[in-house]
Chains A and B, each alone.
Chain A
Amino acid sequence: MNVEQVLFYLFAVGAIAGCSGVVLSRNPINSAVSLVAAFFFLAGNYVLLHANFMAIVQILVYAGAIMVLFLFVLMLLNQRDEELGPRTFSIAPLLGIFAAAVVSVTIGAGFMSYRNATANFPGEVPLSFGTAEQIGRSLMTTHLLPFELVSLLLLVGIVSAVVVAKRRL
C-alpha cells in the first residue's frame, strides 16, 4: 500500500465512524460533533481525489457554518440525559441497519461492475483540476444555468426565512 491508500482507508474508517456516531450516540451534541468529524474525514478524501477546493468549501460551509448553527440550537435547548426519555428498544433501528446494508451493497455492486466494465481510467488528472479557478470557470461557462438557478433557490430560502421570522417579530 502506498501513502495515498493508507490515508484513504484512514479517512474512510474515520468517516464511517463519524457517521455511526451521529446515529448511535444518545446525546444530540455528540451526534452533531460526530457529523462534523465525518465532514472532516470526507474532506480528507476529497483532497486525495485532487479536489482541494471542494474539500475546503466542504469544511467552510458544512462544518463551519451549518453545523455551528445546529450546535447553537442544540446548546440553546440543552437537553439533559433524563429529558431524552427512557432507553427503549424498538424495531426501527434494526430495520434501518438492514435498509442501509441493502443500499450500500447495491451501490457498491454498481460501482464494481462499472469499474470492471471500463478498462481505461481517465488517468493522470491535470494539475489545474479542482482548483478554485477551474471550478469557477466551469461554473460560469458550462454550468451557468444550474448555477444561476441554485442562486435563485438560495434567494427564495433567504426571503422565506425573513417571512417566517417577520411573523414573530
Chain B
Amino acid sequence: MFSPIDFAILLLKIGVITLGFALPIGGLLTLYGDRKLSALIQNRVGPNRAKVFGIQSSLLSLPQFVADGIKMLFKEDAMPDNADRFWHFIAPALALLPAITLWAVIPFGDLYCTGTVQVKDYMDVCVGGEQKNYFSIANLDAGLLYVFAISSISVYGAALAGWSTNSKFALIGGLRSTAQMISYEVTMGLSLAGTMLIYGTLNLNEMAQQQGALLGGWLPAWGIVYQPVAFFLFFIAMMAETKRAPFDVPEGESEIVAGYFTEFSALKFGAIQLSEYVGTIFVGALVATIFFGGWQVPFLYGDGFHFGSGGVDIAVPYEGVVALRLVAFIAKTLFFVLLQFMLRWTLPRFRYDQIMNLGWKILLPISIANLVITAIIVLAF
C-alpha cells in the first residue's frame, strides 16, 4: 500500500516538522523566551555575562544560549540514591515523546493539488489531479481526538518523574501536576466539543478548510467568530496543560524547589524543559488551526485574492498561495506562543486551590453551558 516514494515523503515530513520546526523553535524559545523575553517584559536586563573570547558583547545574547546548551550537555547526570533507576531514566522521555507525537496531525498547509485549482463557494476544488498530503504528517479522520488522546498521555511523564526520584518535593510536584492536568483536560475537551458541532468534523485540515468562508462577504469565518467563549476556555485550559506560569504549581520553585523535576539534571532536565516548550508551541499551532483559520490567509484562495464576490482580484500562482499559507500558519502559531509568553511573565503564580477552583467551578460550568447553547443553536439553524 505504501510506495517507497510515499515512505520517503513521510519520513521527510516527520523530520522537517519535528526536528526542523517543533524542537528547534522549542529550544530557541527555552532560551530566548525564558531569558531575554521575560527580562524585556519585566523590565530587567536578563543574562548578559556570557562572553566570546573575553569580549563583552550583547549579540542578542546568543553567546548565552550557546553557554546554556553546552552546560546542559556536559553537566553530571546525577541520580538520587533511592531513586527508581528505570523510571528515573524513562520519565524524561515519557514527557518529551507525547509532546512531539502531537505534531503528527497539525496541518501546516492544505492538501496539495496536482491538477488545477478552482474556487467554488470559498473552497478550493481540485480538478484533474490528486490531492497530496504534503503539509501534515497524518491527515487523520479523528485528528482532534488524537490530540486529546496524546495530550492525556503526557501526564505520565511528569507524574512518573515526580514519583521515581524518591524525593518528597518531587512527589508533591508530580501529584500536583497530575491533579492539574486531569482537571483541565475536562475543560479542554468540552470547550472543543462546541467547535466539533460547528465544523461537523474531527479532521483538523477540514476544519481549516471550512474557515476559508466569508461571513457576509467580508468577515473570515474563523473559529473565534463562531466560538469566542470556547477560544478563551481552551486557551486557558491548554496553558494549564503546559504547566508553565501562571499555572506552574507543579514546579513551584518557591515552595517545592523545582517540583517534579527537582532531581533531574543534564539532558534529562533538558528533555523535560523542552517538552514544556514544544507543548507551548503546540498550543499555539492548535489554537491557530481551530480558532484562527489554520493555514488560511483571509481572502486568499487557490488562485489568488478574492476581495469581492466577483472573480480573482489579485492573481497568485498556486505555489505562491501554498507558500503564503505556510508562512501564515507559522506566523499565527508564533503569535500565540508570544501571547502565552506575555501572559506567563505578567501574571503571578496562582495558588493551588485557586487553580482547582478555576478549573472545576468556573471553567467547567462555562464550557458545559457553551456546549449546550452551541448545540441548541446548531440544531435550530
Contact = CB atoms under 8 A, between A and B. Distances in A.
Contacts, number: 74
A75 B142 contact: no
Interface string B333-350: 000000000000000000
A75 B175 contact: yes
Contact of A132 (B84, B142, B162, B171): B142
B145 A57 contact: yes
B368 interface: no
Nearest to A57: B145
Contacts of A38: none
Nearest to A4: B1
A29 B179 CA distance: 17
A95 B154 CA distance: 38
B128 to A, nearest CB: 22
Interface string A49-91: 0001100110110011100110110011010000000000000
B141 interface: yes
A64 B152 CA distance: 5
Contact of B149 (A56, A69, A72): A56
Interface residues of B, number: 27
A20 B182 CA distance: 28
Most buried by B among A27, A56, A63, A71: A56
B188 to A, nearest CB: 12
B171 A71 contact: no
Interface secondary structure of A, over-half rule:
helix
Interface residues of A, number: 22
A116 B178 CA distance: 49
A12 interface: no
Contact of A71 (B142, B145, B178, B202): B178
A96 B175 CA distance: 34
Given A63-B152, A75-B171, A76-B175, A68 B159 contact: yes
A137 to B, nearest CB: 13
Most buried by B among A36, A52, A53, A60: A60
22 contacts: A29-B160, A53-B141, A53-B145, A56-B142, A57-B145, A57-B149, A59-B149, A59-B152, A64-B152, A68-B155, A68-B181, A68-B182, A69-B182, A71-B160, A71-B178, A75-B159, A75-B171, A78-B163, A131-B141, A132-B142, A132-B145, A132-B202
Given A29-B160, A78-B171, 13 more contacts: A52-B142, A53-B142, A59-B152, A59-B153, A60-B149, A64-B148, A64-B149, A68-B152, A68-B181, A69-B182, A71-B178, A72-B178, A72-B179
